């Protein structure tokens, strides 16, 4: 329905009276199936994804949900203080967690406009020095589920949204993931190609001596150990499923599948989760080395946890339907920017949300 058609039932006199102008306009937008104009920009936007009220950053003047901004309170002692937990009394204003916004606000009359009174320079003393600690406290107080959703959106804006595509054989994905343990993707793929070249099918691999399998997969490292595990896995699959077709797994409860396969040597929660996500499109969030490192650096999980515990804690934090997207974008982030030894924080699209970042700004 167009806006013109929606307006037909209403008289011109009704919608032009000042007292009815705003309610009538909002009603017209609702009847037309459109969202009303943004309160700060006037641009028609889709409905917000959060129930948090909109607030304006006094530095860059951008409108965002209040829970994405830091609060500063003007207290009774005539001092402006950071309020990371939103518990200080007094009139408040909001600021992006970006030092550039603070510097912009300090250069202008932003605080006076926000508090609707003259703000002496002495009231702003120390804000620059306190910013880093306040930002860290603000991140710590931020709900982890909400911050995970924001990080997911930010990464999709920076890298694009990876879309799962069906077609990968679950058994092939399982063997490939076993080969990936303690090696890189290039060596894993090379070893898998050699394995498929040396043996025409999985039946042949299951019947081959472990030394022959080890020779084929040697580029992946730990060849003697992996060869025995791969052969044992194939024996178990054939005995359990009557063949080498694992496609029925995709119709089963991922938790039951994980519990069953984790009884086998060489298959942990990461391995079976990768298979379920990649081959079946299951909404599970695998935690490998890169993902584990990034989750801890972002403060989404406590420091010092095992990858298995990180897997357990991250599942409820990932937005519904976004496990594949966030996992793949975390992999890209970990391989290109948030590397183990020298993370390039200046290039990180989620640096603002990261308590471990060496910077307090993103590109």
User: DSSP assignment of 274-324, as one string?
Assistant: HHHHHHH--S-----HHHHHHHHHTTSS-TT--HHHHHHHHTTTSPTT-HH
Tell me which residue has tokens 């996500």: 277
- Residue 269: pLDDT band (50, 70, 90) is very high
Give the active site residues. 270
Structural domains in the chain, sorted by start: 1-34 (no CATH), 54-142 (3.30.1230.10), 144-162+285-363 (1.10.1670.10), 170-280 (1.10.340.30)
Is the pLDDT score of 10 beyond 90?
no
Is the pLDDT score of 302 beyond 60?
yes
Is the pLDDT score of 28 beyond 80?
no
More confident residue, 48 or 270: 270
What is the structure's pLDDT at 67? 83
What is the structure's pLDDT at 174? 97
What are the pLDDT digits (tens) for 88-97? 998 899 999 9
Tokens of 182: 């303690």
* Entry pTM: 0.78
Angstrom distance (rounded) from CA 116 to CA 104: 18
What is the structure's pLDDT at 105? 96
Give the mean model confidence (pLDDT) for residues 137-148: 91
Give the residue among 255, 252, 192, 248 at the shortest CA–CA distance from 218.
192
Is the pLDDT score of 180 beyond 60?
yes
């Amino acid at each position: 329905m167009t806006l013109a058609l929606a307006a037909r039932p209403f008289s011109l006199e009704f919608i032009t009276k000042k007292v009815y102008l705003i309610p009538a306009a909002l009603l017209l937008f609702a009847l037309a199936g459109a969202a009303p104009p943004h309160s700060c920009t006037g641009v028609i936007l889709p409905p917000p994804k959060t129930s948090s009220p909109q607030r304006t950053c006094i530095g860059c003047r951008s409108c965002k949900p209040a829970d994405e901004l830091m609060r500063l309170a003007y207290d009774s002692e005539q001092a402006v203080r950071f309020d990371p937990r939103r518990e200080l009394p007094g009139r408040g204003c909001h600021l992006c967690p970006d030092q550039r916004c603070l510097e912009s606000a300090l250069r202008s009359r932003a605080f006076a406009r926000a508090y609707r009174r003259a703000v002496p320079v002495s009231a702003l003393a120390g804000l620059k020095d306190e910013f880093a600690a306040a930002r860290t406290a603000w991140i710590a107080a931020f709900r982890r589920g909400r911050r995970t959703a924001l990080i997911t959106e930010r990464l999709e804006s920076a890298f694009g949204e990876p879309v799962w595509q069906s077609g990968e054989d679950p058994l092939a994905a399982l063997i490939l993931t076993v080969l990936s343990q303690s090696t890189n993707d290039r060596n894993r793929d090379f070893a898998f190609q050699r394995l498929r070249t040396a043996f025409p099918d999985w039946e042949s691999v299951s019947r081959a001596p472990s030394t022959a399998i080890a020779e084929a997969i040697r580029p992946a490292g730990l060849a003697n150990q992996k060869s025995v595990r791969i052969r044992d896995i194939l024996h178990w699959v054939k005995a359990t499923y009557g063949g080498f077709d694992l496609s029925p797994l995709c119709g089963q409860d991922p938790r039951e599948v994980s519990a069953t396969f984790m009884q086998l040597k060489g298959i942990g929660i990461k391995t079976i989760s990768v298979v379920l996500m990649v081959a079946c499109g299951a909404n599970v969030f695998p935690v490998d080395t890169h993902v584990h490192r990034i989750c801890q650096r972002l403060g989404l999980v406590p420091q010092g946890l095992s990858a298995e515990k990180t897997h357990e804690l991250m599942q409820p934090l990932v937005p519904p339907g976004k496990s594949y997207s966030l996992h793949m974008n975390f992999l890209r982030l970990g391989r290109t920017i948030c590397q183990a030894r020298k993370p390039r924080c200046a290039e990180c699209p989620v640096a603002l949300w990261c308590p471990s970042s060496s910077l307090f700004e993103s590109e």
